[in-house]
């Protein structure tokens, strides 16, 4: 593997967009960037949409990224190859993290010295992986491989991610989920309804947890606010830490609070979602549910993970995952192998 030039002053990293789950998975890559290029000005460019590094996860990349550009207009249409994006700016290294060739061609027109891209088997890349290289299925490992190619340095895949969370956030988490109960975190939302296990099954699972002597703790984001009334009516004894007065007033749905709260959970259950990644980073034993999405590509960072796929039961939709299988997984994660009758 050939090393990139050592005297680097400006590095551009292209992504299409970053949702919360993406942003958490990419943090080892961002940290690695600063390690690989300690004196560089690092520009993170979201070509298609927005990046959580500009808002919700900005505290986690402070001191790592020097600049975040959103909605840069690169990767939306093939006609972009007819213009030169970011005119007037030049970068020593550009790292393209995607594989769509016309997007790569458009990005290649940004003035640069060295260009690293996996598109078309690294056809446009100034630096290439060793002969026989095969791209791994995991997105996080794919990005770390690109960083190794760009820097000539080795970066291991982390088993989990350690974050520094302010003491006041951790104290708030303790108040919202005080000691004395075995909390089972439940995150019924996701980026879209096709990725969601039916809400009525989450309710049934929560009732079973109550019968086991545990307290269901629902994690609902602002897009799931309509679910709060039916859930509180069905489960008046459940906890809703993100909707509690103190939580709602102070946290602003900060991912860092959810991560801190995850440390107080006996187990957690989530669809394929950003909250699943927060539970994982917070070290809660996690049961993650998948329908048509491929878990291997965006696997949460944890060694305490149980994956349940609809395909395990002969289906492809979230509703094909049976309730009893999820209940058994929660019991096993907590250490109670009791099977419901």
Q: 10-151, which class in CATH? A: alpha beta
- Predicted pLDDT of residue 248: 63
- Predicted pLDDT of residue 13: 98
- Predicted pLDDT of residue 249: 64
Radius of gyration of the CA atoms of the chain, in A: 22
- Predicted pLDDT of residue 253: 84
Structural contact between residues 282 and 263, judged by C-beta atoms closer than 8 angstroms: yes
- Predicted pLDDT of residue 338: 41
Low-confidence ranges of the chain (pLDDT < 70): 1-8, 247-249, 336-341
Give dist(CA 186, CA 203) in Å, integer: 10
- Predicted pLDDT of residue 98: 97
pTM, to two decimals: 0.90
- Predicted pLDDT of residue 339: 38
Alpha carbon 308 to chain centroid distance?
A: 18
CATH number belonging to domain 167-334 = 3.40.50.2000
- Predicted pLDDT of residue 87: 86
Task: Write down the domain spans for the chain.
Answer: 10-151, 167-334
């Amino acid at each position: 593997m050939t090393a990139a030039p050592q005297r680097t002053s400006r590095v551009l990293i292209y992504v299409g967009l970053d949702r919360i789950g993406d942003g958490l998975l990419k943090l080892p890559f961002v940290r690695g960037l600063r390690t690989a290029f300690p004196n560089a000005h690092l520009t993170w460019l979201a070509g298609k949409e927005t990046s959580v590094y500009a808002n919700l996860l900005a505290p986690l990349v402070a001191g790592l990224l020097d600049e975040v550009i959103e909605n840069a207009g690169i990767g939306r249409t093939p006609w972009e190859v007819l213009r030169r994006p970011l005119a007037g700016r030049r970068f020593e290294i550009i790292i393209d993290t995607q594989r769509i060739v016309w997007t790569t061609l458009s990005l290649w027109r940004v003035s640069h010295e060295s260009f690293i891209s996996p598109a078309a088997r690294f056809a446009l890349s100034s630096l290439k992986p060793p002969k026989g290289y095969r791209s791994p299925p995991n997105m996080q490992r794919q990005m770390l491989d690109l960083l190794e190619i760009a820097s000539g340095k080795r970066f291991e895949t982390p088993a989990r991610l350690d974050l520094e969370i302010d003491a006041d956030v951790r104290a708030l988490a303790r108040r919202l989920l005080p000691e004395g109960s075995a909390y089972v975190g439940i995150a019924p939302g996701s980026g879209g309804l096709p990725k969601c296990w039916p809400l009525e099954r989450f309710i049934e699972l929560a009732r079973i947890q109550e019968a086991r002597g545990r307290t269901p703790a629902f994690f609902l984001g602002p897009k799931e606010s309509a679910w709060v009334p039916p859930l509180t009516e069905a489960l008046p004894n459940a906890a809703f830490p993100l909707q509690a007065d103190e939580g709602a007033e102070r946290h602003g749905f900060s991912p860092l609070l959810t991560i801190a709260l995850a440390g107080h959970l006996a187990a957690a259950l989530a669809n394929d979602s950003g909250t699943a990644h927060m539970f994982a980073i917070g070290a809660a034993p996690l049961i993650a549910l998948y329908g048509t999405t491929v878990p291997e590509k965006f696997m949460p960072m944890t060694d305490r993970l149980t994956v349940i796929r609809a395909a395990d039961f002969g289906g492809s939709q979230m509703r094909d995952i049976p309730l009893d299988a999820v209940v058994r997984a929660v019991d096993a994660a907590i250490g109670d192998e009791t099977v419901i009758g």
